Structure 1
Amino acid sequence: MRAYLASSIGVACAAALVLPLALPASAAPTVSRTPALTAPAGESAVPGSTQSLPLRSLPSERATGAARQGLARSDVRPFSLVGIVWDDPEAELNGSVQVRTRAIGTGAWSGWQSVETHNHAHAADPGTPERDSGTVRGSTAPLWVGASDGVEVRVRAEAPRSGTGPAALPRGMRIELVDPGDEPGTEPAGEVDPATDPVVDPAGEDTAQGPEVPEGTDTGTTSGQVPAPALTAEESAASAVNAELAPLGATEIPELTKEQTDAELAEQFGEEAAAAKPYVGPRPRIVTRKGWGADEKLRERDFVYTKSVQAAFVHHSATGNNYTCKQAPSVLRSIYRYHVKSSGWRDIGYNFAVDKCGNIYEGRAGGVAKAVLGAHTLGFNTNSMGIAVLGTYSQSTPPSAAVTAVARLTAWKLGLYGKDPRAKTTLTSGGGNRYKKGTKVKLNVISGHRDGFVTDCPGTQLYNKLGTARSASAKYQGR
């Protein structure tokens, strides 16, 4: 089994690639460092911004004495995503958050929209360098509101229980208004109407091929492809770790059939090593970080890996369902900026994202085939991966295209690590509200976030579809 270095084109950077068929002996996270490189002269700043506005105390609620904070209607610079952060990441916001926003163009104010307050379960594990960096803040889930230039906020603490004093709100609360910037040059695949989208049968013929690639879309496989414009040093490093799957600077990793996937593995690792992992599903199309326009200067430079990928935790992003699939890259850029600039994480927390049309996106940098340490399931980030389905699925049924995409992604990625999607696996808790640190926990290989932490995530409606995803994933693997 061969280790290899991903080569970059015209840039002296190489990141150590940790392959699924050649894993490090220790389960402890390992750090792959990329050289500090100089970006091309005259490079312009990547668009996107964050406005941070402090909330002000409001008179306590007369009937209960519950504490309140808020922000009166305010004119602000354009933004599309909102969230509330506070100083102490260990403090919880026990109460409700509602926002109203003014749409750019029409000038109309929305009704009050609720923001998911219990977001602390999406984070790096306790005791890890990312968690203990000193930059991490408490935060709500982000909410996608679309292009807006006005905002109003009200936060209310839980009403006190009988015999107790009023609950306090966290210190240092402020609203974060995120502008994702302009769309990247390549758009994701076309729209799918969730109301008419058929259920995909993985056992059928010519099924689960993912959204159709629009005519003229660059698949990253054209001979002699030259990335345009030139990649920055950070973009080169993030792309180089996928060099065995697509050219440097590719906006997507193209899908392969089962036969093509098996042939690629045999070419990379040799016939004998590939034969030892016969149940690897066909590789799905994956939009790279370059494809969705990630600003690679936002994240920390190094990539951090764990030993293996023994489980996949499925999440919903809780950002709401009011987005189109063409807007999904903007939603992702907003979540990424919110995780890094507002919440203080090293990178976006999820390893992958899936939109309502079934497009799959690369999440945290480090290589889509590798065991990249994420910050998605507090206590169980080691030896797992996190997949966020963009949207809120507590009451809304997830589109079948999204469920199918989860099945296709897990069939490939878990297959690389020899995992049966229908099986159980044992992970050791890093600490959380469901399992104490050090507890060995038997979990489904494809689990919902709530299986490792007391939370609503991934929403009841999406959680109820995980059985379907497990069965479909196993079929894609050929089991």
Structure 2
Amino acid sequence: MRSVTTPVSRRALLTGGAAGGLTGAALLCAGAPASALAPAALQVAGSTRAFALGQQRSATLLSTGDLAVVAVDVEGGHMVGVTFPSGASTDTVSVRVRRAGADWTAWSDLPLNDSEPDPDTAEGRRSVTASDPLWVGALGTATVQVRLPRTDVADAHLQLVDAGESSALDTRTTLASPSGTKASPRAVPQPTIRSRAAWGADESLRQGGASYSTTIKAVVVHHTADGGTYSQAEVPSVIRGMYRYHTVSLGWADLGYNFVVDRFGGIWEGRAGGISQPVVGAHAGGFNADTFGVSMMGDYTSVAPSAECLESVARVIAWKLSMYGLPADGAAYLTSAGGGTARYAAGSTVKLRTINAHRDVGFTACPGNIGFTRMDTIRARVAQLMSAATGTAIDAKYAAVGGAAAFGAPTTAELDTPRGDGSYRFYTGGAIYWNRVTGAHTVRGEILAAWGRLGWENGLGFPTTDDSRAKGGFYNHFQNGSIYWSPATGARDVRGAIRTKWASMGWEGGPAGFPVTGDSRAAGGWFTHFQGGSIYYSAATGARWTTGAIRDRWAALGWERGMGFPTIDDTPTPGGKGWYNHFQGGSVYWSPATGAHAVRGAFRETWASMGWENSWLGFPTKDEYAVDGGLRMEFEGGTLTWNRSTGQTTAKRK
């Protein structure tokens, strides 16, 4: 049982009302963990070359008929695969190689890749049809032959991946050790997991930031299906080759798997985003959300994974499941996103196990026929590891971020939240909160203080990420929004449609920059001001962006109480001479020569009917003003005058 002693209030912990009170930004920066998305400490050069099999200048057609053999002379490379940008009629291609002065290798059958991003994602829309990759080792001067249906030759490309050098790799690891506090749910110690830096990830190959689910519900076990002849020294090169193949050749955002386990028992960080986070991978089409993928390096169709490999697979699964309070023998209800390899149609909710083979969710032989027979062995070992665990998920997180050296000493016992839907513990360096849906995450400094002012988990919900580096600051995502902090702006919350809009613009790295206000009420909606402009939201208009002189003019006219909410984002005029925004009560147009001016009512209707700024009137040069009998507006090419008696608007050239 956790302590039932009445705890020091969380407000007191923030304001220093108890020993170990927190002190704002200093704690946010001091000892903060490096971002999971930061560039690796070591980057190793490599390359990818594509050879069009249907072009004689890059390939030689050796045979025809139903099956064609195409030969390509190459220099260098370590891994090969075949891509089909327009799709393929086959489900398997075959490859063999001959190095200079050597005999041909045996033909290797490469099935079409059956791991894939979910189809409704940007990553999925970029993805191309391709075979599994094949690790062949250093080729030097060689010839590669590809055997495939004749009808597929014209569209096929041989992908030759050079994984780069593999010397002097950074093999530092992040470890989690068991704690002596016995509480529920129990957490398994983190095994040794080698970082992306350790295998030499070139972070410039990643396309965009990581995507996250809200939780983890299950794991999917794979094999890489590319042979198991690599040496222990070659492991980093093999992973780099897969990474290049997935990103450069297939168009994916990152390596598809969350973790890779080699035949010697080494566990390696796969897709970026944080090993403890619910990072969405590209390993099980239709079921990438709410799962993580662990792939055994090798082809386990007709040979068994090593005992060392199976033990490490079980250890990394047990550790991550325990962080999210999941049992080894539990059930998971997942909703399919569909896709070409998914076993279940999009929208289908399926009852699966907590620990699944890839073939349980997709039309695939993965993790190989022999590999599949070891699934019960993996499940049993995971259950054994979890039954022996004595620490909590919060203990495991504390150890994973560096324990007392990085996060300070505990200042409270582990306590239940008032509603009983989670637990937390405060330390001199921040707090760790756990919920069964979100897992355990760190919150620190001014972000922690702001979250407390907003009602803790009863306001923004539980944290869904650790405190993480932003471009010039830090952030935490929560179930109901985010808090971003920078030295210039402080800690500010962003929520709902405004947060979604800001994210689509690139978060703090886009034109908006950091928020300078929290989520705030407007007259009939909400707004957040940012360093670079503002996003306003109403139910009628959605979330819209306005900035610069247009925003300033709208503000001068009373914001949403004057001209109403913006109905579009700030938009360049078709001719590229200026910018405009439409509001519920009019428009604001700007050009470098004229500045920003509001156009409303009859003036706006008449000007629009004439062709807006592309008419002979051009851009407005002066807002409406009173004249005898009505109102007038001035434009570059003339004036519009509205007659109060007749209601007519008259255009006049200069």
TM-score, with structure 1 as normaliser: 0.68
User: Quick one: which amino acid aligns to residue 353 of structure 1?
Assistant: V
Deviation at 1:325? 1.8
Report if aligned partners of 1:282, 1:476 keep a CA contact under 8 Å in 2: no
SS of the aligned residue for 2:305 comes to coil
1:253 counterpart = 2:174: yes
1:472 counterpart = 2:464: no
Q: Which of 115, 128, 140 is the equivalent residue of 1:137?
A: 128
User: Quick one: which amino acid aligns to residue 411 of structure 1?
Assistant: A
Report if aligned partners of 2:299, 2:368 keep a CA contact under 8 Å in 1: yes
Alignment correspondent of 1:71: 71
Distance 1:309 1:79 in 2: 37
Report if aligned partners of 2:79, 2:160 keep a CA contact under 8 Å in 1: yes
Alignment correspondent of 2:243: 336
Alignment correspondent of 1:85: 83
Structure 1: gaps of 5 or more residues:
18-33, 158-166, 188-217, 219-250, 264-273
Q: Which of 136, 144, 149 is the equivalent residue of 1:152?
A: 144
Higher relative contact order (CA 8 A, sep 6+): 1
Distance 2:146 2:304 in 1: 29
User: Quick one: which amino acid aligns to residue 236 of structure 2?
Assistant: P
Distance 1:452 1:382 in 2: 12
Distance 1:317 1:70 in 2: 25
Deviation at 1:99? 2.3
> Mean Cα displacement is larger for which, 300-309 or 388-397?
300-309
Distance 1:310 1:13 in 2: 26
Distance 2:154 2:282 in 1: 24
Alignment correspondent of 2:473: none
1:179 counterpart = 2:155: no
Residues 405, 13 of structure 1: alpha-carbon distance in 2 compared, 3 angstrom cutoff:
closer
What is the CA deviation profile of residues 283-304 of structure 1, one whole-angstrom value per residue up to 9, with x for unaligned ones?
Answer: 1000000111111111124121
Q: How does 1:207-246 map to 2 (within 5 A)?
A: none
SS of the aligned residue for 2:278 comes to coil
Specify which structure has the higher proportion of strand. Answer: 2
> Mean Cα displacement is larger for which, 343-352 or 321-330?
321-330
User: Quick one: which amino acid aligns to residue 116 of structure 1?
Assistant: L
SS of the aligned residue for 2:152 comes to coil
Residues 473, 14 of structure 1: alpha-carbon distance in 2 compared, 3 angstrom cutoff:
closer
Residues 396, 429 of structure 1: alpha-carbon distance in 2 compared, 3 angstrom cutoff:
same
1:100 counterpart = 2:8: no
Q: How does 1:186-335 map to 2 (within 5 A)?
A: 186=169, 251-254=172-175, 256=177, 258-259=178-179, 275-278=183-186, 280-335=187-242
Deviation at 1:458? 0.5
Q: Which of 260, 280, 297 is the equivalent residue of 1:390?
A: 297
Deviation at 1:93? 4.6
Distance 1:424 1:438 in 2: 19
Q: Which of 113, 116, 128 is the equivalent residue of 2:107?
A: 113
TM-score, with structure 2 as normaliser: 0.51
Distance 1:171 1:458 in 2: 31
Count of matched residue positions in the alignment of Structure 1 and Structure 2: 358
Distance 2:77 2:103 in 1: 14
Alignment correspondent of 1:125: 118
Distance 1:45 1:289 in 2: 10
Alignment correspondent of 2:405: none
Deviation at 1:78? 1.1
Residues 8, 147 of structure 1: alpha-carbon distance in 2 compared, 3 angstrom cutoff:
farther
Report if aligned partners of 1:87, 1:172 keep a CA contact under 8 Å in 2: yes
Deviation at 1:69? 5.2
User: Quick one: which amino acid aligns to residue 106 of structure 2?
Assistant: W
Report if aligned partners of 1:419, 1:445 keep a CA contact under 8 Å in 2: yes
Distance 1:183 1:286 in 2: 18
Q: How does 1:12-91 map to 2 (within 5 A)?
A: 46-56=44-54, 58=61, 61=64, 65-68=65-68, 70-72=70-72, 74=73, 76-88=74-86, 91=87
Distance 2:208 2:349 in 1: 32
Residues 291, 7 of structure 1: alpha-carbon distance in 2 compared, 3 angstrom cutoff:
farther
Distance 1:322 1:413 in 2: 29
Distance 1:9 1:47 in 2: 33
Distance 1:352 1:13 in 2: 20
Residues 100, 131 of structure 1: alpha-carbon distance in 2 compared, 3 angstrom cutoff:
same
Report if aligned partners of 1:115, 1:141 keep a CA contact under 8 Å in 2: no
Deviation at 1:368? 0.3
Distance 2:133 2:29 in 1: 35
SS of the aligned residue for 1:357 comes to coil
Residues 146, 110 of structure 1: alpha-carbon distance in 2 compared, 3 angstrom cutoff:
farther
Alignment correspondent of 1:163: none
User: Quick one: which amino acid aligns to residue 384 of structure 1?
Assistant: T
Residues 82, 417 of structure 1: alpha-carbon distance in 2 compared, 3 angstrom cutoff:
same
What is the CA deviation profile of residues 7-60 of structure 1, one whole-angstrom value per residue up to 9, with x for unaligned ones?
Answer: 7899x9975x8xxxxxxxxxxxxxxxx79x9x99xxx98411111111138487
Residues 306, 66 of structure 1: alpha-carbon distance in 2 compared, 3 angstrom cutoff:
same
> Mean Cα displacement is larger for which, 167-176 or 444-453?
167-176
User: Quick one: which amino acid aligns to residue 117 of structure 2?
Assistant: A
SS of the aligned residue for 2:165 comes to coil
Q: Which of 430, 433, 437 is the equivalent residue of 2:337?
A: 430
What is the CA deviation profile of residues 93-112 of structure 1, one whole-angstrom value per residue up to 9, with x for unaligned ones?
Answer: 51542223244xx7423323
Q: Which of 440, 445, 450 is the equivalent residue of 2:354?
A: 445
Distance 1:303 1:96 in 2: 31
Residues 282, 365 of structure 1: alpha-carbon distance in 2 compared, 3 angstrom cutoff:
same
Identity of aligned residues (%): 35
Structure 2: gaps of 5 or more residues:
1-9, 15-23, 56-60, 389-654
> Mean Cα displacement is larger for which, 429-438 or 148-157?
148-157
Radius of gyration: which is bigger? 2
User: Quick one: which amino acid aligns to residue 397 of structure 1?
Assistant: A
Distance 2:198 2:264 in 1: 16
> Mean Cα displacement is larger for which, 289-298 or 429-438?
429-438
Regions of 4+ moved over 3 Å: 4-10, 12-15, 57-61
Distance 1:254 1:109 in 2: 45
Distance 1:327 1:295 in 2: 17
User: Quick one: which amino acid aligns to residue 185 of structure 1?
Assistant: A
Distance 2:333 2:384 in 1: 23
Distance 1:282 1:308 in 2: 19
Distance 1:306 1:286 in 2: 22
> Mean Cα displacement is larger for which, 49-58 or 443-452?
49-58
Deviation at 1:454? 1.3
Deviation at 1:136? 2.0
User: Quick one: which amino acid aligns to residue 152 of structure 1?
Assistant: V
Alignment correspondent of 2:488: none
Residues 306, 456 of structure 1: alpha-carbon distance in 2 compared, 3 angstrom cutoff:
same
Deviation at 1:423? 1.7
Residues 421, 178 of structure 1: alpha-carbon distance in 2 compared, 3 angstrom cutoff:
same
Report if aligned partners of 2:220, 2:292 keep a CA contact under 8 Å in 1: yes
Report if aligned partners of 2:51, 2:157 keep a CA contact under 8 Å in 1: yes
Residues 8, 326 of structure 1: alpha-carbon distance in 2 compared, 3 angstrom cutoff:
farther
Distance 2:291 2:248 in 1: 24
Alignment correspondent of 1:208: none
What is the CA deviation profile of residues 157-205 of structure 1, one whole-angstrom value per residue up to 9, with x for unaligned ones?
Answer: 2xxxxxxxxx842752111111111115247xxxxxxxxxxxxxxxxxx
Q: Which of 397, 401, 426 is the equivalent residue of 2:308?
A: 401
